[in-house]
Amino acid sequence: MQSPANDVRYLRITGPQTDKSEIQGDKRRMIESSMQLECKNMTFRYPGTDTSVFEDLSFHMAGPGFNALFGPSGVGKTSIARMLIGDLEDFSGQLQTRNIDRILYSYNLERLPGWSAVGKHLERITTPEQQAKREHLVDLFGMTPYIGSRFSQLSLGQKNRINLIRYLLQDFQMLIMDESLANVDELTREKIIFNIKALFPDKFFIYISHNIIEVSKFCRDILVLTGPGKKRATAVVRGQDQHAGQSLQQQHLETTMLEIMNAA
Amino acid sequence: MLHRRVYQFFIVFGLGLALLLCIKYALSLSNYVIPGPLEIWMTCREVTGRYFADVMDTMRVAIIGQVLSICMAGFIGIVGRQTTWLGSFVKVAAYNVQAYPIVALAPIIFILLGDGFISRLLIAAMICYFPLLLSVLGIMAEPVRDIEHFYRMTGRLRWQLEVKIRAFENIGKLTTVVAGSATLAMAGTIVAEFIAANAGIGYSIRIALYQSDLGKILVALFLIGISLSVYQGLLEWLGAIVRKAWENK
């Protein structure tokens, strides 16, 4: 009998898949040009284990903007990220992206090489056209005083900020941020997320976090993953997707958080 | 670092000599079997100059052999780090070939190449090479995922950068391995000289053995040990300088 893990159907679609006769005009153009991430009936378990990380997982997210993967440790958030970048391929079901060609994945344990200062590393990975953008990001992320320091001399939060800056300087359409702002204080984190939203309005971000307030506040679609054995494996909750300058009603935020907690 | 190695050697050699003398006096052995302190001192005065030149000759061969081994192990280690067919082949071949005792091949080398410099060099390099290769292979084949991930994702991870990252992250291990391989190179050269060569301290030890002169052998061991300690200390010191320079560049 063929195991589900052998039935690999990893599909990356760059063109439209919708039946064109059904949808007309502006709406069709909008769908065709928008970024989509869709997962259908996906099941995955690590080789050599009997327990599935998730079973029959289906969800849909649309970009650009901030969307989130939320759930306790071990429910498969990082596994989904690794499937998206092609690191894990032994899964069954479909994982489709539309109008997203270049996906990057950053995580909070990454390090920069220790042989030169972080500023030098950033210079080397930046094209001449992006020098101004680099300086702007370094300034916005509050890293200007530390640009001459070695990576090992930075605090955990500073390390994560520098790491995120170098990803933001790359050519990408989707950036998966796996706890990329861990150990950064709340105010700075909020400022950084608002700035990313303002500076990269046409990019698709997948924000992986354990912080329920954060995902409720800043993200639009929040995929809530639950561990195996739960009755309902996943749910997509609509977040508040707050931008800089926008006020946020406490009641709405609490409703979102409650929905996430109910789904988890 | 250097002085630590030297005084450690003095302690070990002193303890060894004391044990030998204890055995001599405990078992009432004659000076012919184990010479007394005075005889050892006399032998020392007699042969130190000649033996020192022999040790330096051996060391010259050992150092050249070690440098050759480091270059070869570096090259093969870099090729073998790959997860390709060639990389796997090199790794398997290295693990299998190193299982064969090189000393057993020494007579063939002497028969084919004679008892001169080249034979000594080849045996020294081969004895030093395999342990060095296995260490370099182990270090180079182990990805530093937390650093390499970004470069891999963005298509910037060329082989030079990969090697640089892995070498930098394991510079301490590499320095230790290189310093440790000096002992192997020296041992390889001495073994070669002991088997069939016509020069070097190994050759002098062979003659002393034929003469059953333990005093000469003890002097030779002392000179080998002290020279090797100084050389290894220098290698460690150089390694520390390289590491410091790299980290503060």
The per-residue pLDDT for range B14-37, each reduced to its tens digit, is 999 999 999 989 998 888 888 888
Query: Among B149, B154, B165, whose Cβ lies nearest the Cβ of A113?
Result: B165
Q: Which residue has the higher pLDDT, B192 or A135?
A: A135
Domain that holds residue A163: 109-171
Q: What residues have CB less than 8 Å from A121, skipping those under 6 apart?
A: A112, A113, A151, A166
Strands A65-70 vs A54-63: parallel, antiparallel or unpaired: unpaired
pLDDT (0 to 100) of residue B145: 93
| Percent of chain B residues past pLDDT 70, beyond the cut | 98
Residues of A in contact with B149 (CB under 8 A): 105, 107, 110
Yes or no: say if B203 and B197 are a contact pair by the CB < 8 Å rule: yes
Q: Is A256 in the B-facing interface, judged by CB distances under 8 Å? A: no
SS3 label, residue A16 = coil
In CATH terms, the superfamily for domain B2-247 is: MetI-like (1.10.3720.10)
Taking residue B248's Cβ as centre, other Cβ atoms within 10 Å add up to 9
Q: What residues have CB less than 8 Å from B31, skipping those under 6 apart?
A: B39
Write down which residue in A171, A186, A208 finishes a domain.
A171
Q: What is the CA radius of gyration of chain A?
A: 19
User: What 8-state DSSP symbol labels residue A10?
Assistant: B
Q: Are residues A166 and A179 in the same domain?
A: no
Q: How far is CA B46 from CA B30, B43, B49, B228, in A?
A: 21, 5, 8, 22
Yes or no: say if A217 and A239 are a contact pair by the CB < 8 Å rule: yes
Q: Which residues of B7-46 are buried (b: 16+ CB within 10 A; e: fewer)?
A: eebeeebeeeeeeebeebeeeeeeeeebbeeeebeebbee
| Residue A7 banded pLDDT, cuts 50, 70, 90 | very low
Residues of B in contact with A105 (CB under 8 A): 149, 153
The per-residue pLDDT for range A18-63, each reduced to its tens digit, is 444 455 566 556 655 688 888 888 888 888 887 778 888 888 888 7
Contact A114 B168 (CB under 8 A): yes
Q: Are residues A244 and A180 in the same domain?
A: yes
User: Of A13-17, A207-211, B88-92, which range is least confident?
Assistant: A13-17
Residues of B in contact with A166 (CB under 8 A): 150
Q: How distant is the alpha carbon of residue A47 from its chain centre?
A: 25
- Assess whether pLDDT exceeds 70 at residue A9: no
- Assess whether pLDDT exceeds 80 at residue B165: yes
Q: How far is CA B66 from CA A8, A109, B129, B163, in A?
A: 50, 38, 8, 21
User: What 8-state DSSP symbol labels residue B91?
Assistant: H
| Residue A6 banded pLDDT, cuts 50, 70, 90 | very low
Q: Are residues A98 and A122 in the same domain?
A: no
How is chain B split into domains, by residue range? 2-247
User: What 8-state DSSP symbol labels residue B125?
Assistant: H
Q: Are residues A144 and A186 in the same domain?
A: no
Q: Are residues A165 and A181 in the same domain?
A: no
Q: Are residues A204 and A123 in the same domain?
A: no
A78: left (phi over 0), alpha (psi -120 to 50) or beta: alpha
Between CA A19 and CA A100 the distance in angstroms is 20
CATH of the domain at A85: 3.40.50.300
Write down which residue in A121, A138, A171 finishes a domain.
A171
Residues of B in contact with A115 (CB under 8 A): 164, 168, 246-247, 249
Write down which residue in A144, A171, A198 finishes a domain.
A171
Long-range contacts of B76-82 (CB under 8 A, 24+ apart): B76/B133, B76/B136, B76/B137, B77/B133, B77/B136, B77/B137, B77/B139, B77/B140, B78/B140, B78/B159, B78/B163, B80/B137, B80/B140, B80/B141, B81/B137, B81/B140, B81/B141, B81/B162, B81/B163, B81/B166
**How many structural domains are present in chain A?**
2
B 229-248 → A contacts, CB under 8 A: 246-247
Q: What residues have CB less than 8 Å from B185, skipping those under 6 apart?
A: B62, B63, B65, B66, B69, B124, B125, B127, B128
* ipTM field: 0.84
pLDDT (0 to 100) of residue A106: 95
Q: Is B150 in the A-facing interface, judged by CB distances under 8 Å? A: yes
User: Of A194-203, B82-91, B196-205, which range is least confident?
Assistant: B82-91
Q: What is the mean pLDDT of chain A?
A: 83
**Residue A67 is inside which H or E element, if any?**
strand A65-70
Rounded mean pLDDT, A179-189? 90
Burial of B166: CB neighbours in 10 Å, binned 0-12, 13-18, 19+: buried
The per-residue pLDDT for range B51-73, each reduced to its tens digit, is 999 999 999 999 998 898 889 88
Q: Are residues A222 and A241 in the same domain?
A: yes
